[in-house]
Structures are given as C-alpha cells and as structure tokens.
Structure 1
C-alpha cells in the first residue's frame, strides 16, 4: 500500500538556497510539481555510477515514442546531471515521462515504491535485453523462501528475487544488523496465517524462513518506518543505527550457503534517502558519496552542500525528525572506496 507524504516547510526553506556553483559531481534538482521523492531517488541513481555507465553505453537509437521511454529519459537525465554547464532542470522530461506511467506529478509518493517502479519500467521497456538484465542484476537479491509444515515436517521452497530488501523495525532502538537478522530468522505461522501443506492436504501450522542464494553489486535496504493500524498510518521515528561498512556474513551467517566467500559479503554505504516529517506531512532528501572526491554531500532538491559521515549518522532517528528511509550499499569495503 502506498504511503503519501507532502513537502515539509523545512524543505521549502532549504530550496530558497541554490548551490549552482558546487564544485562536485552532485547536482541539485529543482522541485517540480512536488518531485522531492523522485529527486532523492535520482540522486542515488546518479551516485550509482555502474547504472549511469550502462545507460551511457546503451544504444537507444531504435527507441520509439521517446516521451514514454523511461530508460531513455533516465539516461538523458543522468547525463544532464553530469553536464557542463549545468542545465536548470535536467530531469523535467523524465518527470513527465514517469507521470505518463505510474508516478504522477503533483502527487506525493513513497521513495521505495518509486525506486522499484523505475527499475521495473526499465526492465519492461528496454528492447536491448542484455543491457536490461545487466541493470536488473545490479540490484537483484536472490532469495529462497522455505515453508516447513510443523505437523509432517515436509518442506516447500521457492526462489525469487528482490530489488529492495524490506526491513521491519521495532518501536525502540534498532540496529541494521538486528533488522537483517530478524528478517532471516524463521517465523512460526499459525491460526489465520497457517499455510496449505500438500502432504497433509490442509492448512497447518508452519515455520517460514528465507535463505540468500546470491548477492548483488548494489544492496538496497528499505527501512519500513511507516506502519498502518486501525485505518491510520504513522511514522516510526525510533533509532535505527547503520554502519558505513556492512559485513552481511557476520550479520546473518545462518542465511548463507556454507561455501559463501567472505569478501563477497562486504559492502560500503554510498547513498541514503532521508524522510523528514510525519507520515502525512514530510519531505525527501538524500546523502550521496561523490564518485570523484569520495566525500559525502547532502542534496535537498536544488540545494547541495558538503556533508560528513557524522551528518549521515544524524539520520539514525529518535530525537531527529529526519530519518534514514532507504540505504544503498556497494560491494566492497569503505576503505577500498576511499582509494
């Protein structure tokens, strides 16, 4: 279910300042028709240089109905964000293209849903299937779902993939490693949640869990801060700490095959989508690491300023209204990416 937020007054105040002469590769994006959500996702996609490089090499000469092509318009937007001199609104055509599909202008959207929608539209519209698969594989996290019947012990399993890993958070102090561990811990299902067992030919109590089959170069994690109950949606502002360097094998060892290579499980944080405000009145911004100087920058629509790791840590939550909502990690250690 979609969760809608509106721009905060704080975000509107920030947009009065436009750092157009920023000497880094991070370019501000003007807020067009309540586009802060798309703007923040675009900043993370621009910081994902693997995606930008694939789109730059992609041959788009055969694209029909250019105004409807998300891959083409995204490619042009990312290229324009790197252009000299900067263009005033490099993503305007992309916004109109998304509006023709499912991401409407003048409407507030959920950042994770916008990210997944863009990725799925890219996959559907690219005739170059090889490039489409390469792009999808940047984020594709392969998992196996297994359900064990608690009456006859038979096991059903099914493999699938996720572009964004949804992590449930508790209403107190959380750590990212704890959220990951909770996701992969087997859960017992009973009552109305019982699953059908083919061997027993009836719904029975069961135990459901996940195993990791393969890891992507880019690991996207979604902190599920919006919770609905009794017809109302509220935001959880509680603390969720997350590291600059993430060792997945150390965090959720039981979810991996026994022959997993340690180095392939290490990731470095490079982008954070931030939500400020409440469930019904808020604003999206982003922290990203620049490809060239490897420094952190804060992008609030058209306003861009240099930031620090301590600034990024300020989005953990608790006393702050600005909280991390999506985390983007790149395979490799933080030390490697500083070189």
Structure 2
C-alpha cells in the first residue's frame, strides 16, 4: 500500500507539554476506509520533547508469547504498555534512557486482530506458538488503550465490536498446516464453518470454544454501531 509523504508538526498536549508529531497516512480507498486505523507511537527521553508518530495499520499485531497473556484483552493491554528501549545513544555516543508507548489513535470500522503465532528463533528457524487465547464475541476497546487526545471523543458504541469471522491454523508446524474459517452469515443470522469446499452450520459456542486441533490466527470484528 502506497503511503502519502510524512507530515510533521508541533502539538500542545496536557499541562501545555509540547511534542513533535509526525504522520504517515494511507492513500484513501474503499479498503482503507473499512480496515484502516492509526496508532500513536510516542518516544520519551529525559530533558527532550516527546516524539510522536502516527502510523496507519490494517491489522493490529498482538504478541502472545508471554505466559501472562491468556486473553485478547491481555494482549491489547500488553500492546500499549510502556517499554524501555535499550542501547540508544546520542550523537556524542552517550547512552540515554529511552522509553516508548503505543496507543490507539483511530479505530477502524472493521478491526482485524492478528495473533502472532509464528515466532522466529535466533537460529533463523520459525516455530508456532500453540496456546489457547480466549477471545470474546463482543469486544470493548477500553479508554486506557486510546491516545489521550481521543479518549473523550470516542463514545462506547464507537469502541465496541462484534466478532464476525475467525481464521484458524491447523497443525503444529510453522511451515505447513491448513487454514479454515468460521464466519457469521447475516442472511442466515448464524455461523458457518468453511473448510475448503465443506460448509456446515455451527453455533456461537463452537466459534469461541478452544480445541486441540486448531488455533485462532486472525479475528475479525465489526463496530456495533455499523451493524
């Protein structure tokens, strides 16, 4: 996807604190209008202005490696947690303390969550994370996940999503396996399970129920005010 050239400006935030903000954006298309959102990535350095970058996204990539992450909500909270950046030096080769935090600046009509199940190893190989991650049918994006400047502008209905599709990966290998999907069919007012040419009706419980032979990989949510 081609991006427009970056814009840069100085922004005044709470307590008259200024930050330098840069933004890269999508070329506007029907696809970006449905799936496109923005995250705000802020870098903090002592005695310096905050540096913020607004970055577009089509999918939110959620790290699920930690044993503490058992649900989608856990993964979202981990996404916005402030983290230290190691090994950063100034032009004079002095090491400085840097931290970084990501927040959600703009939520799309359709939110796609990518559970990062394929992890690269130091040896250059890739392995699959086989663990159950709980995901709800109705997902509310809490205000704590939002950027400070947009918290008051997002009503609950603009932050609440309903699941309408799940893509699963079957198998234990990162280099092989099989994909299937469950999708909510509006005309049927119910769920369908699609496995190549095989299609069958299932209930909602079967969509969120963990099973040993498959793991959720992509979660598709639609904003409830657009249903």
What is residue 20 of structure 2 aligned with on the other side?
none
TM-score by length of 1: 0.54
Aligned partner of 1:165 in structure 2 is: 60
What is the number of equivalent residue pairs in this alignment? Answer: 198
Counterpart CA distance in 2 for 1:157 and 1:202 is 22
Match of 2:96 in 1: 204
Give the Cα separation in 2 of the matches to 1:227 and 1:183.
17
Q: Does 1:274 align with 2:181?
A: no
Quote the offset at 1:262 in angstroms: 1.7
Secondary structure of 2:34's match? helix
Corresponding residue to 1:216 among 86, 108, 114: 108
Name segments (4+ residues, structure 1) moved above 6 Å: none
Offset at residue 297 of structure 1 (A): 0.5
Structure 1 position 152 matched with structure 2 position 47: yes
Question: Which structure: greater strand fraction?
Answer: 2
Gaps of 5+ in 2: 3-26
Distance 1:201 1:258 in 2: 38
1:197, 1:159 → 2: CA distance?
Answer: 24
Give SS of 1:242's match. Answer: coil
Distance, in Å, in 2 between the alignment partners of 1:255 and 1:179 is 17
How far apart in 2 are the matches of 1:264 and 1:253? 13
Point out where structure 1 has 5 or more consecutive residues left out of the alignment.
1-119, 122-130
Q: Say yes or no: does 1:311 pair with 2:203.
A: no
Does the CA-based 8 Å contact 1:184-1:210 persist in structure 2?
Answer: yes
Asked if the contact 1:141–1:214 (Cα under 8 Å) also holds between the matched residues in 2, the reply is: yes
Task: State the Cα distance separating 1:258 from its structure 2 match.
Answer: 3.1
Bigger relative contact order, structure 1 or 2, given CA contacts below 8 A and separation 6+? 1
C-alpha distance in structure 1 between counterparts of 2:119 and 2:213, whole Å: 16
Counterpart of 1:320 in structure 2 is 212
Cα distance in 1, alignment partners of residues 54 and 37 from structure 2: 11
Q: CA deviation at 1:212?
A: 1.8
Equivalent of 1:247 in 118, 123, 140: 140
C-alpha distance in 2, partners of 1:132/1:208?
Answer: 28
Q: Deviations over 1:18-65 (max 9, x none)?
A: xxxxxxxxxxxxxxxxxxxxxxxxxxxxxxxxxxxxxxxxxxxxxxxx
* RMSD of equivalent CA atoms: 2.5
TM, length-normalised to structure 2: 0.78
